[in-house]
Amino acid sequence: MRKITIAIDGYSSTGKSTVAKQLADYLGYVYVDSGAMYRAVALYAMENGIISDTHFDKAKLIETLPQIQLYFEKKNDWEKAHIFLNNRDVENEIRNLEVSGFVSPIAAIPEVRAKLVAQQQEIGLKKGVVMDGRDIGTVVFPEAELKIFMNASAFQRAQRRYKELVEKGENIQFEAVLKNLEERDHIDSTRKDSPLKKAENAIEINNSEMNIEDQFHMVLQLAKDRIAGRV
């Protein structure tokens, strides 16, 4: 069966990684969460005095950009990229609200993007890749056979993300999660370099009223049509 490239973009906490993992599992593809790579750079900047609530030393970040390594973890027939920061496994540290608070200004820096996009494009060379992020359909894989753009109401997204973080044991307020989502959406969609926007030929899905299973079946059908060359 021919392998395609699937680009999933959209606002924060719209269910991109959930559907991307399901697709990779079903199709036997490689799944890459590109946001995790930007989060790892943000963690590096936080740990090295580059960014805080009161300052951001962009020059130091550009001078000392860390190595972000992807280790492909085998899961039955599919693979999930596991993120390392300068050879340290950071998969569990990068998803908290503190990192979420610093990641968007970091991801707006062109030098950061250039380095990570080059890595992402290299992974894409072999096809059979599902990647989610903000600029996958527009910049990373403009030739992707299937592009999805996901959205849902900010309130619904914040509720989903809040529940997830509380279940992980984070002591947070709902309002802080909502505020973070709205701030990131704003920075991500108004930055100069590769802003979050729907690619012209992307299919938009608003899943405010859609459960995980329905969303998966909808996207899977779109993928099957493209694999079979029906579209």
Detail the residues annotated as belonging to a binding site for ATP: 10-18
22, 30, 35, 46: which one contacts ligand CDP (CB under 6 A)?
35
Least separation in angstroms between CB 168 and ligand CDP: 10
Cross-strand partners of 204: 149
Query: Nearest distance from residue 60's CB to ligand CDP, in Å?
Result: 20
Asked if 115 touches ligand CDP (CB under 6 A), the answer is no
Told to check if 215 binds ligand CDP by CB under 6 A, we report yes
Interatomic CA distance for residues 51 and 31, integer angstroms: 29
| Minimum distance, C-beta of residue 135 to ligand CDP, in the bound complex (Å) | 5
Give the x/- contact pattern for ligand CDP in 122-161, rule: CB under 6 A.
Answer: ----------xxxxx-----------------------xx
Distance CA 195, CA 168 (A): 30
* Minimum distance from residue 229 beta carbon to ligand CDP (Å): 28
Helix (H) or strand (E) run with residue 223 in it: helix 212-227
Tell me how many degrees the CA angle 76-78-84 measures, rounded to the nearest 5: 105
- d(CA 166, CA 160) in angstroms, rounded, equals 10
Which of 6, 7, 16, 144: binder of ligand CDP (CB under 6 A)? 16
Q: How far apart are CA 184 and CA 10, in angstroms?
A: 12
Annotate 188-203 with b (16+ C-beta within 10 A) or e (fewer). beebeebebebbeebe
Query: Which of 175/231 has CB closer to ligand CDP?
Result: 175
Q: Judged by CB, which is closer to ligand CDP: 27, or 161?
A: 161
Q: What is the largest CA-CA distance in the chain?
A: 53
How many residues sit close enough to ligand CDP to count as binding (CB under 6 A)? Answer: 30
For residues 35 and 20, what is the distance between their CA atoms, to the nearest angstrom? 13
Which two three-digit tokens encode residue 169?
Answer: 């044991």
Among residues 14, 141, 144, 205, the one that binds ligand CDP under rule CB under 6 A: 14
Where along the sequence are the contacts to ligand CDP (CB under 6 A)? 12-18, 34-36, 38-39, 103-104, 107, 132-136, 160-161, 164, 184, 188, 207, 210-212, 215
